Structure 1
Amino acid sequence: MKEVRLNAFIPRQSADEVYAAISNFSAYPQYCTSVRKIDVKNLSENVTLTDWEVNFHNGILKWQEHDTFDPSNRQISFRQTAGDIDHFSGSWHVEADGNDATIAFDSCFDLGLPMLADMLDPVAEQAISENIRAIISGLFPASYIKD
């Protein structure tokens, strides 16, 4: 499986404010033009089922994921339950850094196309990285993102 990891420093915002913003998946299309559509269904107080549509290469990638929110630890875990690729899972984690905050995004994926992996995996890795960067930069314009 391939991994995508990003870390970001968010100045002048508390960890709770940052966690609240990244927890609002419905707002993502406003900040990332490659995110076409998100439909969030609340299953319980801290669990959602989210349908995603994103631009990918020359097409549209669709999947559904099960999201678990842990506000006390400022963490979101996600696991794909259906969709165009074989596996996509990961987490967002927000921590306080003085009066600022940090975000750690960790994910792993498998497109399920072994014959095309050499060609498509780097494209998918770049697309995931660019989408997460766009979401973080859109939500937090003063952020500093590092790999």
Structure 2
Amino acid sequence: MPFVECTIEIEAPAASVYELAKEQERFPEFMPDVESVTVVSRHPDRIVTRWKTLVEDAPIEWTEEDRFDDAALRIDYALIEGDLDTFEGAWTFEQDGATTRVVLGVTYDFGVPTLAELIGPTLQKKVRENSEMMLAALKREAEARPQYRGGITDGPAVGAR
């Protein structure tokens, strides 16, 4: 199955970026291709959400379960049902000095072998672009808000205009 991994550096504490990533129902506020994220159920160590996204103006919908490992700053997610056969992976958050390295990995399968043969490289490119877009949006949000930057308020937020 295809696998994509993307990494970004964010100028904010790892614990703060991790907490922001756990607020998935807020993703549509700052991620343009995410139309909606509806919380189906929430528990201290996991959440079930229903997603509606656009990839190249094509709607893709699914329900996933995310498991939170607060000690390791890790989110593991897996498809429950939806427009894909397989969609699973992890977010990891690692403090490196004043920055956080966020790695988003995803294993996916659209479940149509003929489609995969014909446009597999295009699908992989789109999954990568979408993952990079999510990470860039997370970076913008984390760096623009003092509460995610560890309360640093002695100047404008990084990236603020």
- TM class by shorter chain equals 0.7 to 0.9
What do the CA deviations read for 1:29-61 (whole angstroms, capped 9, x no partner)? 122211111112334211111111111234211
> Max radius of gyration: which structure?
2
Unaligned runs of 5+ in 1: none
RMSD: 1.8
Corresponding residue number in structure 2 for 1:75 = 74
Hey, what's the Cα distance between the residues in 2 that align with 1:127 and 1:30?
21
**Structure 2 matches for 1:1-147, cutoff 5 A?**
1-11=1-11, 13-141=12-140
Conserved 8 A contact 1:35-1:131? no
Matched-pair contact (CA < 8 Å) for 2:36–2:53: yes
The residue type paired with residue 123 of structure 1 is T
TM-aligned CA deviation for residue 120 of structure 1: 3.6
TM-score normalised according to structure 1 size: 0.87
Aligned-pair distance for 1:142?
Answer: 9.4
Aligned residues: 142
Tell me: higher relative CO, structure 1 or 2? Use CA pairs within 8 A at least 6 residues apart.
1
SS in 2 for 1:112: coil
Structure 1 pair 81–53 and aligned structure 2 pair: CA distance change class (3 A): same
For the 8 Å contact 1:111–1:121, the answer to whether it is kept is no
Quote how far apart the aligned CAs of 1:121 are.
2.9
Please report how far the alpha carbon of residue 90 of structure 1 lies from its aligned counterpart in structure 2 after TM superposition.
Answer: 0.2
Return the structure number with greater strand share: 1
